[in-house]
Amino acid sequence: MNKIFSILNFALQSLALHKLRSSLTVLGIVFGVASVITMLAVGEGASKAAQDSIRKLGSTNIIVTSINKQEEDEQEQRVRSYGVTYEDISRIKTAVSNYTNISRQRIYEGEIQYYSNETETTVIACDSDIFKVNSISLKKGRKLCDLDLRNKNNVCVIDGSLSNELFPYQDPLKQKISFRGSYYQVVGVTKTADMSQNFSDFTVYIPFTTALSNHGEIIFNQVNGAYSFEKVDAHKLIIKLPDTAAVYSAYQKVQRIMKHGHPVQDYEIQVPIKLLEQAAETKRMFSILLGSIAGISLLVGGIGIMNIMLATVSERTKEIGLRRALGAKRKDIIIQFISEAIVLSLIGGLVGVFLGILVPILITTFTGIETQLSMFSIALAFLISGLTGVIFGSYPAIKSASLSPIEALRDV
């Protein structure tokens, strides 16, 4: 152990004789290590954000969404009929009998009123299972229940953002809100907005049967000044399966049922677990790409170390010859120069790790872009910096050890 410390100490002393040159050499490793950690952190953060968005859809869910295939020149028709039908839902329930929850949804866009306060909102007519399939938790109150659907109760659950907007100083559970002439008693408030819906900032959930009773089969929407009348039984159908193994089997059945009932594909089937697998593969490829690009910086740093060490060998030819004449073996010379290269790499690696941790934090703080540091990338970058010193310091070290003592001392 003492021998190792003495070798490292001697290497530091040798490098200290040329501070500027050593510092410039270290910069290549510093930026290489920092770029590896930073780029992997950015890539990991982007991947995590994408996968989190997909997970909100439910990893064991199958989502069937109605799509309006009508051409623009057909927009003047009074009623557009498309998408998932009640018959589709009935067949899917029969074929996919092992589902744990299933929820149909109709989407209404419009203004919610509370006295003189009006705000644009997405109203989702749904079954009680929506809170399970979308993993929606409550801040207060209760969820919609089967009794609400059977009795067509005028009740609703609102998201936390809308609650803060309409009732900043009141208990929302004691209030009624109005939508298209019908009043709905607020019975629950969710903790956050349902981000899986991708509609407006505010969301209201009402019983599916109540919506049919109050607003009819034809859906009227006014978005950005444009009016539309739609005959859509369900804008969305979400089927929750017991496990991931059941998803693949159910997906095939749902696909066959929808294809059979819709000559024109006016629907889309999403399987979040497949999206997660694709996202994981994309992340792997992205990480390899970013790591390769950042690795080039380490390669450049390693070449810089080799160049400096070769220059050092030329400058210290007489020193090498003197040490060999006094009894130093070739392996002692090799150890001396490799240790100097390793010390340069490790110093650069430590500084690079510090910058590699700091830069992602600054990126997240000032830009809001999510980054994800991992101990694996930090350890990998530091390990590579050490290997860089060994690999690129080996040739100069071997060259220095191969010098003949007589030739080295000829000009002394």
Q: Quick: pLDDT tens for 251-291.
A: 889 999 999 888 888 899 888 877 666 666 776 777 677 66
- Note whether 149 and 203 are same-domain residues: yes
- Note whether 196 and 252 are same-domain residues: yes
- Angstrom distances, CA of residue 117 to CA of 112, 156, 190, 199: 8, 18, 21, 21
Task: Report yes or no on 270 lying in a domain.
Answer: no
Taking Cα atoms as reference points, which of 212, 162, 138, 203 lies closest to residue 182?
212
Tell the residue number behind the tokens 């089997």, with chain if given.
Answer: 249
- Note whether 146 and 207 are same-domain residues: yes
Task: Report yes or no on 62 lying in a domain.
Answer: no
CB of 53 within 8 A of CB of 300? no
Residues in the chain: 412
Mean pLDDT across the chain = 79
Q: Taking every pair of C-alpha atoms in the chain, what is the biggest distance, in angstroms?
A: 107
Taking Cα atoms as reference points, which of 222, 118, 100, 108 lies closest to residue 166?
118
Domain endpoint, select from 240, 265, 290: 265
Helix 2-16 and helix 330-367, axial crossing angle in degrees, nearest 10: 70
- Note whether 178 and 252 are same-domain residues: yes
CB of 357 within 8 A of CB of 350? no
- Note whether 229 and 289 are same-domain residues: no
- Note whether 166 and 289 are same-domain residues: no
Q: Which two tokens stand for residue 164?
A: 């803060």
| Per-residue pLDDT at 3 | 57
pLDDT tens, the chain, 412 aa long: 565 666 556 566 666 666 776 777 777 778 878 888 888 888 778 777 766 666 666 778 889 999 887 654 454 556 678 889 999 999 999 999 888 889 999 999 888 999 888 898 999 999 999 988 888 889 999 999 999 999 999 999 999 889 988 998 889 998 999 999 999 999 999 986 554 554 556 899 999 999 999 988 877 766 555 667 788 899 999 998 888 778 888 888 999 999 988 888 889 988 887 766 666 677 677 767 766 766 676 677 677 777 776 766 666 666 666 666 666 677 777 777 777 777 777 888 888 889 989 998 898 888 878 888 888 878 877 887 777 767 777 776 676 666 666 555 555 5
- Note whether 102 and 246 are same-domain residues: yes
This prediction has a pTM of 0.62
Q: Rounded to an integer, what distance in angstroms lies between the CA atom of residue 196 and that of residue 32?
A: 39
Task: Report yes or no on 58 lying in a domain.
Answer: no
Task: Report yes or no on 61 lying in a domain.
Answer: no
- Note whether 26 and 79 are same-domain residues: no
Cα 389 from chain centroid? 34
- Overall domain count for the chain: 2
Domain endpoint, select from 235, 265, 295: 265
User: Can you say whether the dihedral through the CA atoms of 125, 126, 132, 138 is positive or negative?
Assistant: positive
Q: Rounded to an integer, what distance in angstroms lies between the CA atom of residue 77 and that of residue 75?
A: 5
- Note whether 45 and 82 are same-domain residues: no
Domain endpoint, select from 241, 265, 289: 265
- Note whether 165 and 247 are same-domain residues: yes
Q: Which helix (H) or strand (E) holds 14?
A: helix 2-16
Q: Which two tokens stand for residue 132?
A: 């399970």
| Per-residue pLDDT at 87 | 92
Task: Report yes or no on 271 lying in a domain.
Answer: no
C-alpha angle with apex 312: 310 to 314, nearest 5 degrees? 75
| Per-residue pLDDT at 72 | 47
Task: Report yes or no on 273 lying in a domain.
Answer: no
Q: Which amino acid is at 320?
A: I
- Note whether 140 and 8 are same-domain residues: no
Task: Report yes or no on 215 lying in a domain.
Answer: yes
| Per-residue pLDDT at 316 | 64
Tell the residue number behind the tokens 């064991």, with chain if given.
Answer: 60
Taking Cα atoms as reference points, which of 35, 25, 22, 42 lies closest to residue 381?
35
State the distance between the two ends of the chain, measured CA to CA, in whole angstroms.
35
- Note whether 72 and 174 are same-domain residues: yes
Which residue range forms the structural domain that includes residue 301? 2-53+278-408
Q: Rounded to an integer, what distance in angstroms lies between the CA atom of residue 138 and that of residue 160?
A: 9
Task: Report yes or no on 7 lying in a domain.
Answer: yes
User: Can you say whether the dihedral through the CA atoms of 43, 48, 53, 54 is positive or negative?
Assistant: positive
